[in-house]
Structure 1
Amino acid sequence: MPKVLIATEKPFAADAVQKIKAELEKAGYEYSFLENYTDKSELHNALADAEAVIIRSDIMDEEAFNSAPKLKIVVRAGAGYDNIDLKAATAHNVVAMNTPGQNSNAVAELAIGMMIYIARNKFNGKSGTELSGKTLTLYGFGWVARYVAKIAKGIGMDVYAYDPYLQDDVMLKEGVKPLHSVEDVFKLGDYISLHIPATEETKKCVNWNLLSLVKEDAVLVNTARKEIIDEEALLKVFAEKKKFRYVSDVAPDNSAEILELYPDRVFFTPKKMGAQTSEANTNAGIAAAKQIIAFFEKGDTTYKVN
């Protein structure tokens, strides 16, 4: 039976580990865990006889694939998969998958939580503002954005979304007003929430052309990837829009400079925290195990990304 490696430098929660084991044992699969490792050579050594691997933020690059001659499938337990070299995976005849939707509610709750935190001046005792009645614009309308929209509507926000890959009826079905240009996302939003992947096409796409359009007191919310932000443009918008604020689940490379200049107008989580709930952890881990089993038993490649 297939041998599965669960390679997690940041381990799954104990409950998730037990449920992953249960899924694999029920299928009769061999498995091993590599947790809390400190050097990539440990990962590469563990990959030597693996036919499937579940990862979280672990790096599967050309060197990793070269170390895994038996590997047939890699599943990233989470929505993002920029830590997998898709070209290398394809070249090595390895199917790469993610687990879309499993972490979405956790990330959405964090996005809303950061909005509330910055709206209330980081709970510094001074009067803040409410989210109710404010306009929220979503750049991208995937799983996380849909959960954000649902919560925001419950709070009383007016929600709009732009996604060039979706028809209007997808948004209308969720009670969200569709936008037809990315410029409108940045012009209209009191709160602008980013929900796009980091690809060659999208890196630094949130640039001065877009940031120059934001309202004087707009809040930019990033639970996506730091690479989609043009950091020089971010500094410029802070300087020119005196009430502009930025909250992010991943600190930009120039975070020290931003924090020094504008400490009251920014918040960054200590490390990427969007999917760091026990529920999301468990959901993504179980989904990854089930997708591996479905792949070997049925040839199912539903969530293939390469």
Structure 2
Amino acid sequence: MKKILVATEKPFAPAAVAQIKEIVEAAGFSMSLLEKYSSPDELNAAVADANALIVRSDKVTADVVDAAKELQIVVRAGAGYDNLDLEACSAKNIVAMNTPGQNSNAVAELAFGMMVFQARNHFNGAAGTELRGKKIGIHAYGNVGIYVAKIAKGFGMDVYAFDPFVEDAKIKADGITPVSSVEELYSTCQYVSLHIPANDKTKKSINAELLNTMPEGAVLVNTARKEVIDEESVVALMEKRADFAYISDIAPDNKAVFEEKFPGRFFFTPKKMGAQTSEANINAGVAAANQIVKFLKDGDETFRVNK
């Protein structure tokens, strides 16, 4: 009998675990659960005889892959998959997948929660500003970006988007204005909502030179990865521009500098919280289980992210 291991340092909601188990067992497989583990050795031991693995933000390193002698597939329950060592997986013929779209609404709602919080001066009693009528740029018009755009339209914002992998016709069909370059997006919009992945091309690509082109009262909203931000140059920019604010779903490495120098002009969640809703928790876990069943039974590799 095939064994599916659910290994989560931060556990799924009980309802999600129950649904994952139901899907796995209905397919004729068994499920094993490892939660709140405290060392990589525990994961290595648990995965040794697993045929499939579901993780959240847990790191599937080369050591984990080496320990997983029977592993055929690993699914990251979520959109980002930089916690998976894709090269190690490919070297062992292990299929790696993510579950795109399952957390998208949760991330988009968090982006707007942070925007409202910043626009209203962290609810400190002072007069703030409104989002209606402001220009917002969506940097990467994927699953999350689409939801952000929909919410922005509901707020009455003017919405622009840049994504070289999405045709302008698709963006226009959604009632959004496409722009031709990153530079045009940032120089046009007071708010920019960031949704690019972290890779060799994007790491530290969001820097002071680009951000300084944003209009007065600029706000950068990051629900992507901190690695795409050139954190030191953002500090340098904010020292020069008292109107600039940075809000992020994950604290930068130099968080202490922001706390010292820029009170009221930043907000960082205490941990990455974009997907931290009960709905997203269940959606991503259930999607991961269904993808594993389809792969093991039919060889379906629809959401494969490695070669």
State the match for 2:255 in structure 1. 255
State the match for 2:35 in structure 1. 35
Cα distance between partner residues in 1 of 2:9 and 2:93: 25
**CA offsets per residue over residues 209-263 of structure 1, 9 Å max, x none?**
2122122310000000000000111101101111100100000000111111001
State the match for 1:98 in structure 2. 98
- Secondary structure of 1:215 counterpart: coil
Cα distance between partner residues in 2 of 1:53 and 1:60: 10
One-letter code aligned to 1:83: N
State the match for 1:111 in structure 2. 111
Q: Which runs of 5+ in 1 are unaligned?
A: none
| CA-atom RMSD in angstroms | 0.7
State the match for 2:49 in structure 1. 49
Is 1:282 paired with 2:247?
Answer: no
State the match for 1:13 in structure 2. 13
Cα distance between partner residues in 2 of 1:234 and 1:220: 10
State the match for 2:202 in structure 1. 202
The alpha carbon displacement at 1:166 in A equals 1.3
One-letter code aligned to 1:178: P
The alpha carbon displacement at 1:175 in A equals 1.1
Contact kept, 8 Å, 1:99 with 1:288, in 2: the verdict is: yes
State the match for 1:71 in structure 2. 71
One-letter code aligned to 2:230: D
Contact kept, 8 Å, 2:190 with 2:216, in 1: the verdict is: no
TM-score, normalising length: structure 2: 0.98
- Secondary structure of 2:37 counterpart: coil
Cα distance between partner residues in 2 of 1:188 and 1:79: 28
Contact kept, 8 Å, 2:247 with 2:268, in 1: the verdict is: yes
- Secondary structure of 1:279 counterpart: helix
Cα distance between partner residues in 2 of 1:85 and 1:177: 37
Contact kept, 8 Å, 1:121 with 1:127, in 2: the verdict is: yes
Cα distance between partner residues in 2 of 1:272 and 1:245: 19
State the match for 2:88 in structure 1. 88
Contact kept, 8 Å, 1:211 with 1:233, in 2: the verdict is: no
Contact kept, 8 Å, 2:89 with 2:96, in 1: the verdict is: yes
State the match for 1:186 in structure 2. 186
Cα distance between partner residues in 2 of 1:237 and 1:95: 42
State the match for 2:141 in structure 1. 141
Contact kept, 8 Å, 1:7 with 1:54, in 2: the verdict is: yes
One-letter code aligned to 2:101: G
- Secondary structure of 1:34 counterpart: strand
**CA offsets per residue over residues 40-81 of structure 1, 9 Å max, x none?**
110011110011000000001111100001100000000000
One-letter code aligned to 1:148: V
State the match for 1:224 in structure 2. 224
Comparing 53-62 with 200-209, which one deviates more in the overlay? 200-209
Contact kept, 8 Å, 2:251 with 2:269, in 1: the verdict is: yes
Cα distance between partner residues in 2 of 1:64 and 1:208: 38
State the match for 2:125 in structure 1. 125
One-letter code aligned to 1:182: V
One-letter code aligned to 1:213: T
Contact kept, 8 Å, 2:248 with 2:269, in 1: the verdict is: yes
One-letter code aligned to 1:161: A
Cα distance between partner residues in 2 of 1:59 and 1:173: 39
- Secondary structure of 2:286 counterpart: helix
Cα distance between partner residues in 1 of 2:171 and 2:277: 27
How many aligned residue pairs are there?
Answer: 306
Instruction: List, as ranges, runs of 4+ consecutive aligned residues in structure 1 with deviation greater than 2 Å.
Output: none
Contact kept, 8 Å, 2:53 with 2:75, in 1: the verdict is: yes
One-letter code aligned to 1:181: S
One-letter code aligned to 2:68: A
State the match for 1:272 in structure 2. 272
One-letter code aligned to 2:257: E
Identity %: 57
Contact kept, 8 Å, 1:96 with 1:305, in 2: the verdict is: yes
Cα distance between partner residues in 2 of 1:109 and 1:3: 36
The alpha carbon displacement at 1:277 in A equals 0.2
TM-score, normalising length: structure 1: 0.99
